[in-house]
Structure 1
């Protein structure tokens, strides 16, 4: 938004002398006699400069202009903040919806894997439910890896082995590692 101050090329806190000097300088630059071939555009610019100077050189008119300008700038700032907040909230809602959609696909894939279906069936089910191909492949691969890890049975430990070397302890360690990898791959948190 171009202000009267911008038209004269001065700051909002310019003194009367600075406004007067800026007016003379701008008027000389925009005067139609000094802009041969562009008289119409120069005339319009010259008139804007004259109007800006007429308001800013009168202390009462300048005070009123500053008050109105400050109010309008406040409204503009509020509008921009509201639009930014609405944009941010919309992005958060979209991100939440995307997370929920992703979690739904993972849950569906888990159900099919628990029923004994292989990676390709899980992949096909996800595609059939509207999942993006790359995401469906990632989820199906992760589910296949999870099923393969669960299917591995640890070997039996000798009877005199310490408790930390038992198959249950080893399986728990593998499960912890797998859980860490799973969460890292899919971004899930417990």
Structure 2
């Protein structure tokens, strides 16, 4: 926002002498007779300079201008702050809706996975529920990895006693569960350990 101080090229705390000097400099620069070929532009600038000087050279008009300008700046700042707050609230609402949609898609995928459906079915179901393809793929991969990890855990605990004496390699068992778990979390949240 250009102020009349900027029009004359002075600071808001300029003295009357500084304003007079700036006025003379500006009128010399923008006088239409000195700007051949740019008379219209020079005339407009010259008029702005004269109006700015008329206000700033009169103490009462300058005081009124400063008060009105300060009030307008406060109003503008309040409007800007309100708009930013409104934008932040709208962003929070979009994030909340996206989170609810995500949780709903995960719940749907878990339900179908619990019914024994494979990864491709999970993916297709999610696509059919207006889920973004990239998100549907991530959820389907993660839920399928979780189901596989659950099946492997159940299979390992359901072995008969005669097979229970065969001890799995301890180094591979935690890795298999860790890998499935890591795959699940990475797919859901995009996190790596």
Q: TM-score, normalised by structure 1?
A: 0.85
Unaligned runs of 5+ in 2: none
Q: Does 1:96 align with 2:101?
A: no
CA distance in 2, matches of 1:22, 1:179: 73
Unaligned runs of 5+ in 1: none
Partner deviation per Cα, 1:160-187 (whole Å, 9 max, x = no partner):
x9xxx8xxxx78x976775565334313
* CA RMSD, Structure 1 to Structure 2 (Å): 2.3
2:142/2:185 contact within 8 Å kept: no
Aligned to 2:185: 183
Please state how far the C-alpha of 1:26 moved relative to its aligned partner. 1.0
* Higher RCO (C-alpha 8 Å, min separation 6): 2
Please state how far the C-alpha of 1:40 moved relative to its aligned partner. 1.8
Aligned to 1:65: 65
Aligned to 2:39: 39
Segments of 4+ moved more than 4 angstroms: 155-158, 173-181
* Aligned positions, number: 179
Aligned to 1:121: 121
CA distance in 2, matches of 1:177, 1:144: 13
CA distance in 1, matches of 2:25, 2:93: 53
CA distance in 2, matches of 1:20, 1:8: 9
CA distance in 1, matches of 2:119, 2:180: 18
CA distance in 1, matches of 2:182, 2:16: 70
Please state how far the C-alpha of 1:144 moved relative to its aligned partner. 1.2
Q: TM-score, normalised by structure 2?
A: 0.84
